[in-house]
Structure 1
Amino acid sequence: MQATGRLLNDPVKIADGKIKFGFILLSSGMFKETFDSLNTVDVKILPDSLKQEYYFLTARTYYDLADYDKDNYYAPIYNKRAGIYIDSAIALSSPQSYSYTYNLGLKYLKLGKRDQAAVLLKKLMKDYPLTDHELAVTASTLSDIYIQNGENDEAIKLLEMAAIADIKSSTKEAAAMLNLAQLLHKKGDIKNAYVYINEAMNDASYYGARQRKMQVSQILMVIAGKKINSVEEQRRILFIYASLLTLLAAIVILFAFIISRQLKKLRKADKIIVNTNISLQQTIDKLNEADKIKEEYIGYYFNLISEYITKLDRFKRSVNNKLVTKKFEDIQQLVNNINLKKEKEELFVNFDKAFLTLFPNFVEAFNSLFAAEHQVKLNAGQLLNTDLRIFALIRLGISDTEKIASILEYSMNTIYNYKARIKSKSLIPNDDFEDTILSINTI
């Protein structure tokens, strides 16, 4: 702008350029150079708007220099000089303007009149249509008051607002990020403090503000150190958690293995118990069946023996009578009248009746083991035939071929042949045939 002013031979533009250049120098922390630039400005030729800007920049330079020194000798001197220049800037501003209210609030703040300064700055934020840059400056300045009052939470809110406004206005020379990082660091929010301090360093590096970079560097090292410590602590905690989880997983796996083994043992024991119960039930069923068969056949043979005793008694009496009367030829006749074949047939009929009383479905069950053409066909009035009687005796538990042959009055070979012939026609394997017969239930 100074070069343009010289080309146009416009001293006002040259002065304006020097003021703008002074702001850049101040933002870079170059106080001497700022004063050198401002001291070359001829204030008399400036319009009121530029005079106001000149006086405000000079006042700010002294304020910043006092903040930089922070001593008991020079700082009061710089603040006093700044007060003179800020008064000049206020005098040149319209009472309804932003610059008037803000400059007056800044003056009160530097004089320690925080309450009066806060009233003015709050009024600006509430009643004035501020630009993003004006909002950032006002909120940042007001946050200083809250910081001095120890109200850091409110200060953080204002600094967040100021930082957002700085980003919107593309302002890189700003203290909001730095102050926000410091407050968050004090609050213990290292994570966000680290983010903001890095952003503040990026802005300072971009703008080339050496003073700001020094300020940021000091707090950056502290926050970065705590960030590293925090990360290390998190790693340590994560390692502990991982170790505990690994141990817990190992314990869970161990218990799962133990439980699995116990479950296998329990399942095995349950299976044994179930099989034992089934076997026991089968044994009980067989015992019950055997008892039932015994009861039935004891009654059957008791009746049969009673009948034979009665017959023998009648035969004995007849023989005695014949002997007494000496009718010896009649005795021979009595003996000849005994029909063993008929007696045998009656014995089988009685056996058949007794057996079918116990196993009424035996014939049907037996025939179900054969194809239709090989099933047993009984004659009218016939209960069982020889084929059926052989396996009826087997069903009663008489498996010895010699005994079966003796009962049915056949040779053993005949019984073997019967069994082989019958089994060969069945629908099931020969080895399973007799077991299947044994599985036929009683009533």
Structure 2
Amino acid sequence: MKFLVLNLLLLFIGCLNCTAQSPIRELEKLKLVLKEKSKLDAQKHRRIDFLKASLAQKDLNLKDEYLIYLKLYNEYKSFQYDKAFYYAHQLQRISGQLKDPAKIAYAKLKLGFILLSSGMFKETFDSLSTLKIKHLPDSVKREYYLLNARTYYDLADFDQDDYYTRIYTTKASFYVDSALKLCDIHSFEYSYYSGLKLIKVGDLGHAIPKLKSLINSKRLSYHQYAITASTLSDIYIRHQQNHIAVRLLINASIADIKSATKEAAAMLNLAQLLNKNNNTEDAYLFIKAAMDDAVNYGARQRKVQVSAILLVIASAKILREQEQKQMLFFYSALLTILSIIIIVFAIIVYKQLKRIKAADKLVLEANARLRNTIEKLNEAEKIKEEYIGYYLHIISDYLNKLEKIKSSITQRLTTKKFDEIKVLVGNINLKKEREELFSNFDKAFLKLFPNFLTEFNTLFPVEYQVRLLPHQLLNTDLRIFALIRLGVNDPDKLARILEYSLNTIYNYRTRIKNKSNNPEGFEVAILNIRAI
């Protein structure tokens, strides 16, 4: 029953995670962060350089020096083993000079932590065995218990022996219980180590929600997040739910890179899982990154551990590349045969296409001529419709005016007011009426050909292009060729419409054409100006 509940819980959490962000997208995110690795490391180096520079202050006392060495140790403890080891000894030296038991014990704990991180279990126990914690502050006691717990848990994982693993796990759990009594129940250490203890004693049903709640709390540092996600991933690896473990390890690796942590195992475990899933390309990329971290960190055991996995993944990558080469050779041979067949068919098809293209060309030319004719007919029809409506409107206006004049004259003839008739006739301004006629024509024409002026000017050099006055729509030059564009090409008709002599029309047309870029094809270009 216990295992059934656990499996159902894991399955439920797995389903939730499957609906989350795709591992493929997360892998790409990790690769992007990996490219920023040197920049993030440089930021850490700048912090370290600043701390080292502060050691050169002349008025520095032992307490200040101790604090600076502690900060340098914290910067190096997960970044570079030999430097962290050096500053741990500096902390011991300064704390000895201060003769402060709490600081002396704290310095030994820092040394023990770095020894454990490098896999030196004996040396870690030797360092811890010298501590007398009875009269030390709770904060130092808590760290002492937690370091002992981690040492025994790591030793149990390293041995993998049924007899000794149980002994080490029991001792570690004892130290965890002692530490938890001194931890704030809202602290990271309380939540993480209580969850870790549940994992080690096999109570995964309570451990998983606790660690997932810790991850989702959004109050963790990058390093704390990476530790929690890596620990949680171990559970899913043991229960063959690698897709969830991969996502957790990707996020842990991203957090490690952002915190410039070099001694973490998340990238190493991720590479192993990806290799099992036959993703050797990404596995090789990440194991190389893990190897770079191990070399930079400088702990011998970590380098040996990563090197062993690197050889396995590199071998798998080489084997996969060989298989790909064989498949490539097979497909190349197959493609060669297919290419020959395709070439034979291509020659046959080419000859057929050549005949079809010749026929298509004739059809396309005929279609083009037909489309051109249809467009011209449509344009002519549109122009005709617009101008029929326009002239019906003009004629209607003039008939209304004539009717008013007739009515006025008839009325005055009846009353024999001949002088008023003369005045009425004298008030008829033919020049104004003609100007109004031209203005209405200009408006109607530009409604059909709004780009006429722009296209007309493109036919001339810049110095001969038409520049209209602010109140003008068209001038005489433009009006002549506007009428020509509408199909009024007879000089007599142009002269009558515009109230010019025939010679004047001829002179206008000749003078304007001679100024154009192409006098011979000028009127053809005018006729090619398109309506809207």
TM-score relative to the length of structure 2: 0.47
- Which residue among 149, 153, 173 is the counterpart of 1:59? 149
Residue-pair matches, total: 267
Question: Residue 174 in 1 paired to residue 288 in 2?
Answer: no
Deviates more, 1:206-215 or 1:196-205: 206-215
| Match in the other structure for 2:292 | 202
CA distance in 2, matches of 1:123, 1:200: 28
CA distance in 1, matches of 2:267, 2:298: 16
Deviations 1:312-362 (A, max 9, x none): xxxxxxxxxxxxxxxxxxxxxxxxxxxxxxxxxxxxxxxxxxxxxxxxxxx
Deviations 1:123-167 (A, max 9, x none): 211235111111111111111122223222111111111111111
CA distance in 2, matches of 1:167, 1:259: 59
- Which residue among 110, 114, 132 is the counterpart of 1:24? 114
| Match in the other structure for 1:36 | 126
Question: Residue 77 in 1 paired to residue 167 in 2?
Answer: yes
Relative to structure 1, the CA distance from residue 77 to residue 248 in structure 2 (aligned partners, 3 Å threshold; closer, same or farther) is same
Structure 2 counterparts to residues 249-268 of structure 1, below 5 A: 249-256=339-346
Deviations 1:213-271 (A, max 9, x none): 3332333222221111111111222222333333333343444456678999x99xxxx
CA-atom RMSD in angstroms:
2.4
Aligned amino acid, residue 310 of structure 2: L
1:204, distance to aligned residue in structure 2 (A): 1.8
- Which residue among 307, 311, 319 is the counterpart of 1:217? 307
- Which residue among 270, 273, 284 is the counterpart of 1:183? 273
Structure 2 counterparts to residues 425-440 of structure 1, below 5 A: none
| Match in the other structure for 1:246 | 336
Query: Quick one: percent identity of the two aligned structures?
Result: 56
CA distance in 1, matches of 2:117, 2:228: 17
CA distance in 2, matches of 1:255, 1:151: 52
Aligned amino acid, residue 145 of structure 2: Y
CA distance in 2, matches of 1:65, 1:125: 26
CA distance in 2, matches of 1:213, 1:111: 30
Structure 2 counterparts to residues 311-390 of structure 1, below 5 A: none
| Match in the other structure for 1:146 | 236
CA distance in 2, matches of 1:14, 1:192: 45
**What stretches of structure 1 of length at least 5 have no aligned partner?**
268-443
Relative to structure 1, the CA distance from residue 263 to residue 80 in structure 2 (aligned partners, 3 Å threshold; closer, same or farther) is closer
Question: Residue 8 in 1 paired to residue 71 in 2?
Answer: no
Relative to structure 1, the CA distance from residue 128 to residue 39 in structure 2 (aligned partners, 3 Å threshold; closer, same or farther) is farther
CA distance in 1, matches of 2:242, 2:317: 21
CA distance in 1, matches of 2:353, 2:222: 72
Relative to structure 1, the CA distance from residue 259 to residue 101 in structure 2 (aligned partners, 3 Å threshold; closer, same or farther) is closer
| Match in the other structure for 2:41 | none
CA distance in 1, matches of 2:313, 2:107: 39
Relative to structure 1, the CA distance from residue 259 to residue 104 in structure 2 (aligned partners, 3 Å threshold; closer, same or farther) is closer
1:47, distance to aligned residue in structure 2 (A): 1.8
**What stretches of structure 2 of length at least 5 have no aligned partner?**
1-90, 357-532
Aligned amino acid, residue 234 of structure 2: D
| Match in the other structure for 1:117 | 207
Aligned amino acid, residue 244 of structure 2: E
CA distance in 2, matches of 1:11, 1:250: 87
Relative to structure 1, the CA distance from residue 47 to residue 246 in structure 2 (aligned partners, 3 Å threshold; closer, same or farther) is same
| Match in the other structure for 1:300 | none
